Amino acid sequence: MTETVLGYPDRDPDPLTTLVEVLTAATRYDFALAVIPLAFVVAVVAATALNLTVIQALVPAAVIGIIVIVDACYLNPPVEPDSE
């Protein structure tokens, strides 16, 4: 089994080109799934750096997570393409 590079099967993989192709293939929901844990990581780092309590840091992260979930599930839900 061989591995092929996205879009360029006969060339050596260029890391920047591969990154751009992966990011352009990502959907809105992929980014939504990335934002939620990122918000919590930023909250923990901010709690450590700014000498905040864990509750003070995690509440905004939880609110961000709730907003992202509501947006992805209810305001802009995934739809199936029309089968025409």
Residue 61 pLDDT > 90: yes
Asked if residue 66 is part of any domain, the answer here is yes
Residue 64 is assigned to a structural domain of this protein: yes
Query: How does the average pLDDT of the chain come out, rounded?
Result: 84
How far is Cα 3 from Cα 11, in angstroms, rounded to an integer?
12
Q: What is the DSSP letter of 73?
A: I
Tokens encoding 13: 């993989």
Amino acid at 47: A
- pTM of the prediction? 0.69
How many domains does the chain contain in total?
A: 1
The C-alpha atoms of residue 9 and residue 2 are separated, in whole angstroms, by 10
